[in-house]
Amino acid sequence: MGYVFDYSWIGEYSGVLLKGLWLTVWLILVGATFGVALGIFCAWVRALGPKWARPIVGAYVELIRNTPFLIQLFFIFFGLPSLGVQMGETQAALLAMIINLGAYGCEIVRAGIQATTKGQFEAGWSLGLSRIETFRHVVLIPALQRIWPALSSQIVIVMLGSAVVSQIAAEDISYAADFIQSRTFRAFETYIVATLIYLALAILLRQLLKGVGWVLFPKRSAAR
């Protein structure tokens, strides 16, 4: 092993890395917010929504969960322009992440909703709450609390999976790493740095989601 490690490039390329870090953070924060919202909406439709809408949401969920994220991304970025839908790589990356997380989130949240006993709905209605109010206060919050760890994991998976958006030249952490590697030819050093950044980001994201859990479910979190 005559390999000499060389990290002297970090100074020169720290701007590229920071820019990449910022895009990944932005993508996951915005993507997770809208993705989870979409997931909750779809879960509501599938579990309790109008009968005619259920197969449509079901088809969307099956389509997204049974195709690779990379292909979905390429379809949005390279394919849709043929139909006149043109968007930049950042928008395409964000949209792909929202659509992807929406489908997975839907199934996770639905599991939580369906675990709610019928008696709980009836209790809500008997208190004079409307269907929406019952869903919001009596069903959704306990359901989310039940599945919060699973949903958190899914969000972290989407964040890590977002590495492929570099394939459409969205300038995230992976793009920065590939870029630096193509200039310095220091593959080991570049990718170990990228790995550490992703690792730190994933740990921070989990802590953040745990914190969100505490805020969303204050009374019950002591039980966990």
- Choice between 113 and 194, CB closer to other proteins: 194
Which of 88, 66, 68 lies closest to 78 in space, CA to CA?
Answer: 88
Nearest distance, CB of residue 185 and other proteins, angstroms: 9
Closest to 187 measured CA to CA, from 16, 15, 43, 3: 3
The nearer residue to other proteins, 3 or 185, going by C-beta atoms, is 185
Least distance CB 221 / other proteins (angstroms): 44
Q: Do residues 30 and 117 lie in contact, with contact meaning Cβ atoms separated by under 8 Å? A: no
Name the residue nearer to other proteins (CB basis): 76 or 98. Answer: 76
Write out the residues near other proteins by the rule CB under 8 A: 77-79, 81-82, 86, 88-89, 166-169, 175, 178-179, 181-183
Min. distance of Cβ 31 from other proteins in angstroms? Answer: 20
Q: How far apart are CA 30 and CA 14, in angstroms?
A: 24
The smaller minimum CB distance to other proteins, of residues 134 and 166, is found at: 166
Closest contact distance (angstroms) between CB of 159 and other proteins is 21
CA angle 63, 167, 162 (to 5 degrees): 60
CA distance 220 to 209: 16
